[in-house]
């Protein structure tokens, strides 16, 4: 029952296995790499030379990408067989990468659109390959400056053998849009085909999350961020200026969110910048936090900067399109220096899918302190004022799912217990309207907590004992909550011209 039993890396078919040396190991290989003291299957995504030796950028089997890291040769177990990228595949990759006429011959049945998508993916991979920026690990501080040139050469060399593991069987699957990297048959079978063109079209009209793995750049480009009082270690790729890849550290102004690759520039900027809170209207304030509402269209620079920051911590966020159709609700903490950004959620001005949250993020330095719950609660309080049922945009991240599950279960259990005390029956719809949640979310939560039962020919809700205990325990703890009476907000109304997607 171990979740890692199902291999997610390199499961696209039988692979050639064999022994490898540090020199012969190439991008696309799958090797046993030590992670947290245990050996784990890992795919090599990039290779670079550092002063301390060759390093490999590894994506660990069934681990989230935020745990990807550069590992030295010492952590790779060369006693075990290495799975090599599929050779035929590589040949085709070669051909495609060089953009020869072989492509149509190799895949004659493919529609033009698919071809484009394929080729695009190649480009993406290539560009990834060119920017394998040292994400120096947060645990071991093995910084390597000055090796960038080497890296680049190495990476571009790797492109040839580049994008690994696309089994020949995949090529028969016309609809397959799997990333060059961790393609999984099993996943493809489950996932509905979702072409890139469709994805882009969907993103153009609504939403901010991508479900297309091809959209996600696989290698982290920023290794370290100075942000206010904290140093953050980004989890994912974010499209900051390419030259920042060379920088050891980038500096972000915690108020205006401007980014600098140079400490002097940052210091100079700090002398001039007068912003001390998010550039919008405060719509909520209590002892601990404030909320600001910011229109993406009016505060384009600030909102873009915010998105760039959040992209470092949200894998499925896309910055493909501009910020105009979104409102940003930013939570801050006040002190004598200003309103410090804790987290935010964005929300479409008009969501066709009834989402009340597009992206939601608590900055890492404020995580696990109950702020995420506040953000979620605030989003539902806004939905209550609007008189709508809301749901967060999918896909959720793992952390997002846990946060939402927790919020939902707590609130539903709370509501159910008050009702059960009064001996009242409840409908799913009643729960949904009381909490401004969609009925699907209510049902999913009930099912996930095994509360929805079938007993003697009747549907019933059973509140498990452990949840009641948990509720009593959490009641004793001082919890942060949003006080709805302090919200000074009216649902903004946008004219048709404000809502147009173009500029």
Partner 1 sequence: MATRKVRYKKLNIKTPLPVLREDQIDPSEYESLTNDGQIATGVEQAEENEYHLQAVLRGAGVAADKEIPVPPPQESVLTYEELYSRPFEETHTYIRFSQTVEECIGCMYDMTEDDEVFLKSYNQKRPPASQLPDDDFEKIMEVFEDTAYIRAPFASVDQTVVPYDEMLHGLHDLDRAKIMPHAKDIYEYWKARRQAVSNKPLHPTLKFEMHQESDEMDPYVCFRRREVRQTRKTRARDVQSADKLKRLRKELEEGRQLVMAALHRENLKADMLKIDRAIFEQRAQLKAQKIRLGIKTDDDDLINAKPQKRKAPEVPAIQRPPPPSQLRAPVRPDGRSNETDLAQLTERHLEKETELRIEIEKKVRNHNDWNRNHVDLTRGPLSPVSGPRSDLSFRPATTQYLMTPPASVSSASLEEPTPMELDNTPNPGPVFKFRGVAQDAESMANPPGYRRRVGRLNRLWIDRRGLASPPRDVDGSSSDRWKYDQSSDDEEDTPVYEVDPFDTRALKFRASVPLPIWMSRPVRPIVGIPPPFPPNHPQQPHLHPQHQQMQRGRDRARGPSPGSNRTFVL
Question: Is residue 408 close enough to count as binding partner 1 by CB under 8 A?
Answer: no
Question: Is residue 368 close enough to count as binding partner 1 by CB under 8 A?
Answer: yes
* Subset of 16-75 contacting partner 1 (CB under 8 A): 62-64, 66-67
Cα atoms in the Cβ-side hemisphere of radius 13 Å centred on 54: 16
Of 20-28, 148-156, 328-336, 476-484, the segment contacting partner 1 by CB under 8 A is: 328-336
Question: Is residue 498 close enough to count as binding partner 1 by CB under 8 A?
Answer: no
Question: Is residue 385 close enough to count as binding partner 1 by CB under 8 A?
Answer: no
Select 20 or 482, whichever has its Cβ closest to partner 1. 482
Give exposure, 1-23, as e/b (b: 16+ Cβ within 10 Å).
eeeeeeebbbbbeebeeeebeee
Nearest CA among 254, 231, 392 for reference residue 330: 254
Q: Kind and range of the H or E element at 31?
A: strand 30-35
Question: Is residue 464 close enough to count as binding partner 1 by CB under 8 A?
Answer: yes
Q: Are residues 232 and 207 in contact, defined by beta-carbon separation less than 8 angstroms?
A: no
Question: Is residue 452 close enough to count as binding partner 1 by CB under 8 A?
Answer: yes
Ramachandran sector of residue 398 (left: φ over 0; alpha: ψ -120 to 50; beta: rest): alpha
Question: Is residue 353 close enough to count as binding partner 1 by CB under 8 A?
Answer: no
Q: Point out the catalytic residue in the list 43, 393, 458, 472.
A: 393
Min. distance of Cβ 275 from partner 1 in angstroms? Answer: 4
Question: Is residue 497 close enough to count as binding partner 1 by CB under 8 A?
Answer: no
Question: Is residue 503 close enough to count as binding partner 1 by CB under 8 A?
Answer: yes
Please give the DSSP secondary-structure letter assigned to residue 437: B
43 is catalytic: no
157: number of Cβ within 10 Å: 14
Question: Is residue 468 close enough to count as binding partner 1 by CB under 8 A?
Answer: yes
CA 485 to chain centre: 33
Beta strand 355-357 with 391-392: parallel, antiparallel or unpaired? parallel
Write the interaction track for partner 1 spanning residues 253-292; mark x where CB under 8 A is met and - where it is not.
-xxxxxxxxxxxxxxxxx-xxxxxx-xxxxxxx----x-x
The single residue listed with the structure tokens 């609809």 is 175
Nearest CA among 119, 127, 62 for reference residue 95: 119
Using alpha carbons only, give the angle 180, 395, 133 rounded to the nearest 5 degrees.
45
Question: Is residue 370 close enough to count as binding partner 1 by CB under 8 A?
Answer: no
* Subset of 114-173 contacting partner 1 (CB under 8 A): 120-121, 123-124, 127-128, 138
Min. distance of Cβ 304 from partner 1 in angstroms? Answer: 6
Please work out the total of residues on this chain that contact partner 1, with binding judged by CB under 8 A: 160
Question: Is residue 321 close enough to count as binding partner 1 by CB under 8 A?
Answer: yes
Q: Are residues 33 and 40 in contact, defined by beta-carbon separation less than 8 angstroms?
A: yes
Min. distance of Cβ 22 from partner 1 in angstroms? Answer: 26
Min. distance of Cβ 344 from partner 1 in angstroms? Answer: 16
Question: Is residue 113 close enough to count as binding partner 1 by CB under 8 A?
Answer: no
Enumerate the active-site residues. Answer: 393
């Amino acid at each position: 029952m171990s979740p890692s039993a199902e291999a997610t890396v390199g499961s696209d078919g039988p692979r050639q296995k064999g022994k490898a040396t540090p020199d012969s190991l190439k991008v696309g290989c799958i090797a046993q790499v030590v992670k947290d003291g245990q050996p784990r299957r890992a795919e090599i995504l990039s290779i670079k030379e550092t002063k301390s030796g060759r390093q490999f950028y590894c994506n660990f089997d069934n681990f989230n990408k935020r745990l990807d890291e550069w590992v030295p040769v010492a952590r790779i177990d060369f006693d075990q067989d290495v799975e090599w990228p599929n050779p035929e595949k590589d040949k085709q990759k070669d051909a495609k990468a060089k953009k020869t006429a072989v492509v149509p011959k190799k895949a004659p049945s493919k529609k033009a659109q698919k071809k484009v998508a394929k080729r695009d993916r190649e480009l993406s991979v290539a560009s990834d390959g060119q920017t394998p920026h040292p994400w120096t690990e947060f645990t071991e501080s093995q910084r390597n400056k000055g090796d960038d040139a080497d890296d680049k050469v190495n990476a571009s060399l790797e492109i040839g053998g580049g994008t690994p593991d696309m089994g020949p069987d995949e090529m028969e699957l016309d609809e397959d849009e799997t990333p060059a990297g961790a393609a999984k048959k099993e996943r493809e079978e489950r996932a509905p085909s979702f072409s890139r063109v469709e994805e882009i079209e969907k993103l153009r009209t609504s939403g901010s999350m991508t479900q297309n793995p091809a959209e996600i750049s696989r290698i982290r480009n920023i290794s370290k961020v100075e942000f206010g009082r904290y140093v953050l270690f980004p989890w994912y790729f974010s499209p900051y200026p390419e030259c920042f890849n060379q920088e050891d550290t980038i500096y972000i102004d915690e108020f205006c969110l401007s980014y600098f690759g140079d400490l002097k520039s940052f210091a100079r900027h700090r002398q001039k910048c007068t912003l001390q809170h998010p550039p919008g209207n405060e719509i909520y304030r209590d002892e601990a936090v404030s909320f600001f509402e910011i229109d993406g269209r009016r505060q384009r620079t600030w909102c873009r900067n915010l998105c760039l920051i959040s992209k470092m911590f949200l894998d499925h966020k896309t910055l493909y399109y501009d910020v105009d159709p979104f409102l940003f609700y930013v939570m801050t903490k006040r002190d004598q220096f200003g309103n410090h950004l804790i987290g935010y959620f964005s929300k479409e001005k008009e969501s066709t899918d009834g989402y009340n949250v597009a992206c939601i993020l608590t900055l890492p330095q404020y995580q696990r302190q109950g702020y995420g719950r506040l953000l979620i609660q605030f989003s539902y309080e806004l939905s209550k004022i609007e008189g709508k049922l809301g749901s967060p945009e999918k896909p959720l991240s793992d952390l997002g799912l846990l946060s939402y599950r927790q919020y939902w279960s707590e609130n539903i259990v709370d509501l159910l217990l008050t009702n059960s005390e009064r001996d009242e029956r409840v409908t799913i719809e009643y729960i949904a309207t009381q909490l401004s949640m969609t009925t699907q979310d209510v049902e999913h939560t009930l099912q996930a907590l095994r509360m929805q039962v079938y007993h003697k020919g009747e549907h019933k809700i059973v509140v498990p004992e452990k949840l009641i205990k948990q509720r009593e325990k959490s009641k004793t703890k001082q919890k942060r909550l949003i006080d709805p009476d302090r919200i000074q907000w009216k649902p903004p109304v946008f004219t048709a011209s404000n809502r147009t997607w173009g500029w």
